[in-house]
Amino acid sequence: MARSKRNKLTEVEFHDRETAERWLKMQPREISHAMAARAALRVLPFLASAKDRSDFHSDVISQSFRALVVAWAAASHPAHAIALRECVPNVDFEALNDSFSSSGGANDSLGPAAAGGTVTFTAYAVRDETAAEAATSASYAIQDSDSAFPAGDNYAWPAAVADANIITSGSPAPDYSTHFARLIASPLWLMGVPSPIERAWAELKEILRGGRRDYDSLATWYEDRLQGRPSLGQAFDLAVATLPDELWKQGPATVNARIKELIAEHSPLSSLTDEDLPTQTPRAAIFQPNATGAIDLAPPVAADRLADTSEVRDLYGETREKLDDLISLGGNMLGDRLDRSSDKLRSRMPENMSEAIERLVWSSGNTLRSILAGHETVAVDRDPHPDKLDQGVIERLRDVVDTFNQLAIADPALRLRDAGRPGPQEHARTLSEIEIVVEVVVEAANDRNITTREAGAQLSENAAIVSEAGTSLTNRLAVELARDTDRNFVAGVVVSVYRMLRSLPSLARGEGGFISKEYFSGFYKYGGGATAIGLLGAVVGAYSIRWEIVEFIVSNADQLRLYGAYAFEQSPGFKQMIDWLEAHVRLDKIK
């Protein structure tokens, strides 16, 4: 795309349709397509206000999404824009737009009527014969996107101006395709998603993913555009944009199934290597499927034990003795938390030191440090406080902690755990990461169809540690271990399920190649080679995965993608695994 001489590298500013139209008419046609599509996509969530219409699913959602999928493909791949004109749905957009007015809008805005108008003008922009006509249609699309918001909310015009300034940014060059590509790859809201859109999208997403989940692939497609995530490539974009009328007429379930097939076909999963996948850190519990198909803790290995030296053995024995003295005071004097925590550490320090697991010893010992620090923070206060301990208790607790600290210095693995120095910002990021996945992890921890009692207890304990943690270094170190435990659990579960399902023979798949509970129940065990006959012909061997675990991952796919962006940013294969599982697993439809 050659830069027009009239388009100088100066900051663009417009706040009305006429000014926007003049600027757009100086740009190549694809700029109008992109600006219109992005404007329409920004306010698409407002369509949720029309959910009570009888034609909401058949026309409002299907036709709006279809028009925007075509418009996005035309903007992203300008060489195909002319051919894509014929793919804009053959629907009376003006009539559809006019009928929105009867649906009303929230918060004194035109709501779905203006959002529908933005879709309408975006469709016109793609169909328009000339670049000038496309510019006019795009300017009306931007104007209607502004009208979709409540009066006084100034979001749409600044967003459009920010888009325009991406095009005109950078140093002069004979070709500005790089700036255009940057616009296509950018999140829809460069200055942050406005709260009205966040609320509307949450409502619309619940509609799209709820019930029979007949629109979940379109919800994923929109979420990717909203966040500025890359598509699966030109071939995928064009394949979705050119889905035939006959397919769309068969209803959303059919369209959704076909889009999922296309996602699977165009996902670069065959190139995934171990380097692309998240791995579990030995610093935390390792999770793996057991012989029954549940997620269990991996058996401890030599590296999980304390160092077998005379100094470590002596301090280990001394810590146990002083811990027994503390416990002997009884629960009434110790208080509930200290009583439970002391018993927990004692159970993790068996008489035979070779049976102790250093990670568990450190975690429970660190909890006693935290309790002691909590008391010392409020000890001088005259007022009662739940963290205050009896003087006789505190002396014995301090004795235990002092000896444990010496043990932590003597043992290399414990010393390494104490060496961490996470700062306040790193701690805040860790807490944000955990918050994303905590409800998902707790769900798995409490479900014996997913985790064993031991694995569930480990996850629950870490969740409790995070909920009780303060901001001291001792607490920050404890939260880091909880973070690593969550990462290990999610990585272990997703990688195990993905590898197992990818290995299933075609015989084990149902109609359309989907994996469902109906078929899964007869062949879910897999061992890599040996075959046995079951409902359909089961493969039995090294390990198995329960259907409930597969269902758990796919049901929480959105949350896991978001979590992966934080926890596994160096492992691009994580999102691809989630995408593949969501595309290939068919959950039971909710009646």
The secondary structure of 166-234 as a DSSP string is: HHT-SS--SB-HHHHHHHHHS-S-TT---HHHHHHHHHHHHHHHSTT-TTHHHHHHHHHHHHT---S-H
Distance of CA 169 to the CA centre of its chain: 31
Q: Which of 122, 99, 117 is nearest to 52 (CA)?
A: 99
Give the orientation angle of helix 473-502 with respect to helix 547-555, to 10 degrees.
120
Q: Which of 188, 63, 78 is nearest to 134 (CA)?
A: 78
First to last CA, the chain: 51
**Structure tokens, 16:** 């009305």
Give the orientation angle of helix 29-43 with respect to helix 131-147, to 10 degrees.
20
Q: Which of 560, 416, 548 is nearest to 487 (CA)?
A: 560
287 — phi, psi (to 5°)?
A: -115, 140
Residue 31: enclosing H or E segment and its boundaries? helix 29-43
Give the orientation angle of helix 216-227 with respect to helix 252-266, to 10 degrees.
50
* 3-25 average pLDDT score: 71
Is residue 77 pLDDT above 70, yes or no?
yes
* 214-219 average pLDDT score: 79
Residue 268: its pLDDT value, please? 64
Q: In DSSP terms, which residues pair with 585 in a beta bridge?
A: 515
- Is the pLDDT higher at 376 or at 589? 376
Instruction: Provide the H-helix boundaries in 48-106.
Output: 62-76, 81-84, 93-100
Distance, in Å, from the CA atom of 389 to the CA atom of 80, rounded to the nearest integer, reads: 74
Distance of CA 373 to the CA centre of its chain: 35
Residue 584: its pLDDT value, please? 77
Is residue 441 pLDDT above 90, yes or no?
yes
Mean of all residue pLDDT scores within the chain? 82
Distance, in Å, from the CA atom of 222 to the CA atom of 46, rounded to the nearest integer, reads: 13
Q: Which of 93-97, 335-339, 433-437, 559-563 has the lowest mean pLDDT?
A: 93-97
- Is the pLDDT higher at 193 or at 264? 193
Is residue 152 pLDDT above 50, yes or no?
yes
What residues contact residue 416 under an 8 Å CB cut-off, 6+ apart? Answer: none
Amino acid letter, 481: L
Distance, in Å, from the CA atom of 498 to the CA atom of 477, rounded to the nearest integer, reads: 32
What residues contact residue 13 under an 8 Å CB cut-off, 6+ apart? Answer: 161
Is residue 522 pLDDT above 60, yes or no?
no
Distance of CA 341 to the CA centre of its chain: 33
* 76-100 average pLDDT score: 73
Distance, in Å, from the CA atom of 500 to the CA atom of 515, rounded to the nearest integer, reads: 12
- Is the pLDDT higher at 216 or at 405? 405
Give the pairing of strands 525-526 and 515-516.
unpaired
- CB of 228 closer than 8 Å to CB of 187: yes
pLDDT digits (tens, 9 = 90+) for 267-315: 765 567 778 889 999 999 999 999 888 999 999 999 999 999 999 999 9
Residues making up the chain, counted from first to last: 591
Q: In DSSP terms, which residues pair with 175 in a beta bridge?
A: 2
- Is the pLDDT higher at 504 or at 53? 53
**Structure tokens, 349:** 């320090």
Place of tokens 């035979």: 352
Distance, in Å, from the CA atom of 316 to the CA atom of 99, rounded to the nearest integer, reads: 77
Q: Where are the domains of the chain?
A: 17-266, 287-296+423-455+463-470+483-586, 307-410
- Is the pLDDT higher at 317 or at 210? 317
**Structure tokens, 247:** 């397919």
pLDDT digits (tens, 9 = 90+) for 378-391: 888 888 888 889 88
Residue 324: enclosing H or E segment and its boundaries? helix 310-327
Amino acid letter, 9: L
The fraction of the chain above a pLDDT of 70, given in percent, is 83
* 474-493 average pLDDT score: 95
Helix (DSSP H) and strand (DSSP E) numbers for the chain = 27, 6
